Amino acid sequence: LIDAPSTVSTAPVALSYELFPPRSEAASATLWATIRELEATDPDYVSVTYGASGSNHDTALELVDRLQLETTLRPLAHLTCVGGTPEELSRVVNELLDRGVRGILALRGDTPRDGHLPAGALRYAQDLIELIRRVELRRSAQFAAGKVAIGVAAYPTRHPESPSEVHDVEVLLAKQRSGADFAITQVYFHPEQYSGLVHRARRAGVTIPLIPGIMPLTSLRRIEKLAALSGVSPDPVLVDRLRAAGDDDAEVRRIGTEASAALAEAALAAGAPGLHLYTFNEHAAALEVLARLDLPRPARPSLAARRRALS
């Protein structure tokens, strides 16, 4: 039912945002202004990225802590595993669970350039899912209220290291069988890339929710950087339009948010159960995309009432 196609569905849509741990005092101030703006929209959770090989372990955990202590937001902690040993990764999973985190996005991360992995190290996201489930089992007495929710990455366009989109879906199915509860997609630029993924995945037996990851397409520099990092080719028509808008910031903003909202609308029409917005730690463009959408959201208490309930 979750992905049943519909163009007029009024079922509530889950909403989440991605944040990354700040690298400086100034970046932290911007991030916290963003967090306060996003909090007012009452998302279901906010995700916190994690550097490859745990490069930002401390700042990631610090951000998770502050979200838990100082906001009404529920963190989904990203965790990368490639090259880490089971002992190291169990320790981080336990650190997260000790902090009250009950949602982890299990990722591989980037493999080391020389491709060398230490003996016994984890190789794939699937290995991390299985490790998290083992840690959870050892601590099962604590989870009377429900298990840890595990999210994974899914790819509307072929993962750069994968031989085919079919292989990507087989990997997604393997991640589901190992215990993944939901998936968030990589950035994509054409609506049919999301609906194509859903179609391939459902046909292969993937039943978990597939949440489209939507990037506010308001910065050409950011789009090009992301394309280089992720191997996803940007839409050349969009790139030309953004380039033609040049220094006209308002026009760039209009073109970019309109394009992102169109992707989100098409995904919802294809039955997407939620939206995950890549914020790049800035709220304005993400909230402009949302404002264009008029999402059906569940009726919830005001921010003040939510704060009172948690104090």
Show which residues are catalytic.
Answer: 18
The answer for 54, left when phi > 0, alpha when psi is -120 to 50, beta otherwise, is left
Hey, what amino acid is at 296?
P
160 residue type, one letter: P
Minimum distance from residue 22 beta carbon to ligand FAD (Å): 14
Binder to ligand FAD among 21, 54, 83, 109 (CB under 6 A)?
109
Residues touching ligand FAD: how many (CB under 6 A)? Answer: 24
Structure-token pair, residue 141:
């007495």
What is the distance of C-alpha 65 from the center of its chain? 19
Q: What are phi and psi of 76, to 5 degrees?
A: -110, 110
Please report how close the Cβ of residue 140 comes to ligand FAD at its closest, in angstroms. Answer: 25
Q: For ligand FAD, which stretch binds (CB under 6 A), given 4-12, 23-31, 168-176, 188-196?
A: 168-176
The answer to whether 125 contacts ligand FAD (rule: CB under 6 A) is yes
CB atoms within 10 A of CB 4: 9
Would you say how long the chain is, in residues? 311
Burial group, residue 218, by CB count within 10 angstroms (0-12, 13-18, 19+)? buried
- How far apart (Å, rounded) are the C-alpha atoms in residues 140 and 146? 9
Interface with ligand FAD (CB under 6 A), residue from 108, 133, 241, 283: 108
Residue 119 Cβ vs ligand FAD, minimum distance, rounded to whole Å: 19
Tell whether residue 206 is a contact of ligand FAD (CB under 6 A): no
Question: How far apart are CB 152 and ligand FAD at their closest, in Å?
Answer: 6
The answer to the question of residue 167 lying near ligand FAD (CB under 6 A) is yes
Residue placing its CB nearer to ligand FAD in the complex, 21 or 256? 21
Across the chain, how many H-helices and E-strands are there?
11, 9
Q: Nearer to ligand FAD by C-beta: 47 or 257?
A: 47
- Which lies closer to ligand FAD via its Cβ, residue 176 or residue 252? 176
Q: Hey, which residues between 234 and 263 contact ligand FAD (CB under 6 A)?
A: none
DSSP string, 143-165: GTT-PPEEEEEE-SS--TTSS-H
For the CB of residue 180, give the shortest distance to ligand FAD in the complex, in Å: 10
Indicate the pairing of strand 75-80 with strand 274-278.
unpaired
- In angstroms and rounded to an integer, the radius of gyration of the C-alpha atoms of the chain is 19
How far out from the chain centre does Cα 303 lie? Answer: 23
Q: Which is nearer to ligand FAD, 12 or 231 (CB)?
A: 231
The residues in 211-230 that bind ligand FAD, with binding defined as CB under 6 A, are: 213
Positions in 18-77 near ligand FAD (CB under 6 A): 49-50, 52
Q: Please count the other Cβ atoms lying within 10 Å of the Cβ belonging to residue 146.
A: 7
Cβ at position 78, least distance to ligand FAD in Å: 3
Q: Is 201 in the site for ligand FAD (CB under 6 A)?
A: no
- Please count the other Cβ atoms lying within 10 Å of the Cβ belonging to residue 51: 16
Among 16, 56, 72, 80, binds ligand FAD (CB under 6 A): 80
E strand or H helix at 178: helix 165-178
Residues that bind ligand FAD (CB under 6 A): 49-50, 52, 78, 80, 105, 107-110, 124-126, 153, 159, 161-162, 167-168, 171, 174, 184, 186, 213
